[in-house]
Chain A
Amino acid sequence: MGKITLKHVNKSFGDVAVIPDINLTIENGEFVVFVGPSGCGKSTLLRLIAGLEDVSAGQIEIDGTDATDLPPAKRGLAMVFQSYALYPHMSVRKNIAFPLKMAGMTEAEQEKKVQNAARILNLTSYLDRRPGQLSGGQRQRVAIGRAIVREPSAFLFDEPLSNLDAALRVSMRQEITELHQTLKTTMIYVTHDQVEAMTMADKIVVLNAGNIEQVGSPLDLYHHPANVFVAGFIGSPKMNLIAGAEAAKHGATTIGVRPEHIDIAAGGPWSGTVGLSEHLGSDTFLKVEVDGIGTLNVRAGGEVNLRHGDRTSLAPQAGRIHRFGADGKALA
């Protein structure tokens, strides 16, 4: 089991309300990603669920039981930290066995579980090493191993890949996703990297200034952003947001068009001059200074051969324009 429910959860540090009022349900077995810019409260929310911070008001239920006042160890959750938080004075074996030792398990049982976790995470040959003798990826696997052996009702990940290099991040991302598919345990994952969010999540929770902006599947958020913030945050490169007369033509205060939904088309409604042109082989990223609108990002095919200073015409794809009202919310 691993259903987590937050009811009117509020967290303040002094006079500052970091999380004003959050209601959220995470279903058993879901992979939920909290995403948002730095300081949006996503890590605080995770720490509230973990019990490492006390809520100022509201209730946290784990599997239908009120866990608001339970200490972290009693919540049946396991956490993987950004800095790995391994015990430097213990071997990998002892690190992984530590939660089992705290639970009063016999040494034979501990060893069996440690071996099993080490096998899943390819750590068997490193069991007698200290964390200082391991690479970043191996350390993160030890941290995950320490979480796995507890057989928690949910895993909490606090930006676990941000200390790794780009290549390792991609492979660890896949490993965590595979782990979720194997264990089928609830996972809550905090990141500011929306690519991680899009690739890993069953459900994304977009946070901004302590409030939930939108909850939905990755593609739901991509295709139907609820407001300007989500529209600008989800998707890479970012969605082009256009206000003023051009938006008014579509009956909106702001309109949004993703870079990949703008075609380079002779006779298109928007004309402009190419400012920057990045050729990646598979794609070409263009910054085009469009007359009367401003700078637009365009994602074109790899064969496009436009260069700095070239004139071009652009056309948004039909049905791909997102419309937002004066309050920033999406218009039907």
Chain B
Amino acid sequence: MTGERWEFLMPSLGADMESGTVAEWLVKPGDRIRKGDCIAVIDTDKALIEAESFHTGVVEALLAGIGERLPVGTPLAVITGAAPAAELRPPTRGSPPVSPGEKTGMERRRREPSPAGGEHGPSWPHAPSPVTSPLVRHLAERHGMDAAAMHGTGPGGRVTRADVEGIEIPAKVKASPLARRLALELGVDLTGVHGTGRTGAVRADDVREAAARGSGTGPRAGTEQAVPGRAASAAGARTVGKPDLGRRQGLMRQAIARAMSRSNQEIPHYHLSTTVDMDTALAWLRERNRDLPVARRVLPAALLLMATARAAVEVPQLNGFWLDDAFVPGDAVHLGVAISLKGGGLIAPALHDAAGRDLGDLMAALKDLVARSRTGRLRGAEMTEATITVTNLGDQGVEEVHGVIHPPQVALVGFGKILERPWAVGGLLGVRPLVTVTLAADHRATDGYVGGRFLNAVDRLLSHPEEL
């Protein structure tokens, strides 16, 4: 123990966030946590966000109660100095807390001398290295976790894929396929729906009932508990309470209203647009997808995102924030992706380092981001770190988007629908798939010339998709 002490503060999870509510604690006093572990679910009015710890240590006390609305910066929990790294293990919900002095059975077993004696080397008892597969090591690394320090549930204390993913991926809700489809259509968060199936499964009627309750404005909706009590969490489910949809949507609308009003009042927008011939890009994509299983195929939308990200690398003046009368460039291109929620509302979480990914990876990340946005399971960093935002309304049949910048960002890129149109190529008229790309940019940070360079870069990148 180093004796250090930190306060975990109500995070600012968006430029427009003034206060938040702890919707769920993911840790309890005595839990050991690592830097980057999600320790609380914060309700920001726009979404339920998992907030991460900036420190490694032990949770000493939780200061904020569930459901308490607190201003940004209010201390929520106290974390004390780090225990030796090898003993750390991420909090696993449902398992009994392990006090610092106590060792788990698994650890004890590892420390017992093996029958083979010293053959395994003297370092063994001090540096337990549970056997893991390359996949598990890879996953752990990707999630920023140390597999060697984790508590393994596999044979012989082996850290399994489930151990790694169990921490990263929210517990699954048991719901029928129809219930899942309805939840998506009605914008109902399944994690908060009470299942009436014999084994607790959420069924279609449960979703309909939750939707009806959520959208109702009667006294029933008003008296509904907005966040879960601890009893719900203790039941083992990763419940984030019955989302009071009406209230949530109202608050989300207000949050969007604040951000957009601020944008319109403060940001002198300029708008540019260009039309891009997608023929080469779509042909290339078809060829690329031909031999891939459906799950790994890349949609044109991902190609457009990738082109935007790479263009933002080439024209960094559009990638960053306008803060205190100066432009602060982003450390990488964290691409905000505008995602409309089925129940109404909009959020634009970030695809981290989009330009540094390969296309398949970007596609996978996009799918993951959309899925988590719609179930309200985004991480804090994803809500605040976007450096430039893309909105694609092509699905809605929109031909071009004249966007409003999300402050404090300085640019918003819009894509319309890819449409077949007459188009002159090499002096001949042909029918080509075209998309209109628009740029809304902050005139304080850049001028039209920079914006033009950016759109040119998008055009060029989409004409050479093999380089993406």
**Do A and B truly interact?**
no
Seen from chain B, the residues whose Cβ lies within 8 Å of a Cβ on chain A are none
